[in-house]
Structure 1
């Protein structure tokens, strides 16, 4: 009888459920999208300045998308999929 209880106690449970992993993957995709939007804008010639590096997409949009992605990650970690509605 004691061995049966020990085996039940040794059962391993996952910390996250399927829903958590789904939101984590969505958050990672949003973060990657933000970094893709931030990339580029450099000049081929290092002696020539390219003002395209300071455009609205790289300065405002991409960092906000990355922050939103990190927010989705925090939500995915704190999400309790077993909570009854």
Structure 2
């Protein structure tokens, strides 16, 4: 007498391809997110450029303005990443 065993590893039919060639790829970010991210990279680079140099290391530009510009660039980068694209 043969016993019928049920297995959790049953053979399943091959998964059907649910994407059609006409469906465009869905990206996480849209064009505006990329623009904001590129602008944020430029702002951070500008802040580091303002911070560079060897003369007068205690100038207001190097101590106050440049770090604020760098932090603003990083903040803009976070906004660019976290902003939801318009559906």
Residue 30 of structure 1 corresponds to which residue in structure 2?
43
- Asked if 1:62 corresponds to 2:66, the answer is yes
Q: TM-score, normalised by structure 2?
A: 0.71
Unpaired runs of 5+ residues, structure 1, are 43-51
**Among 23, 27, 33, the residue aligned to 1:14:** 27
- CA RMSD, 1 decimal: 1.9
The number of equivalent residue pairs is 70
Distance in 2 between the 1:3 and 1:61 partners?
58
Structure 1 segments of 4+ aligned residues over 6 angstroms from their partners: none
Larger Cα-atom Rg: 2
SS of the counterpart of 2:48?
Answer: helix
Q: Whose helix fraction is larger, Structure 1's or Structure 2's?
A: 1
Please name the residue that 2:81 is paired with: 77
Structure 2: gaps spanning 5 or more residues: 1-14
The higher-RCO structure (CA 8 Å, 6+ apart) is: 1
Q: For the residues of structure 2 that align with 1:55 and 1:41, how far apart are their CA atoms?
A: 11
TM-score scaled by structure 1?
0.72
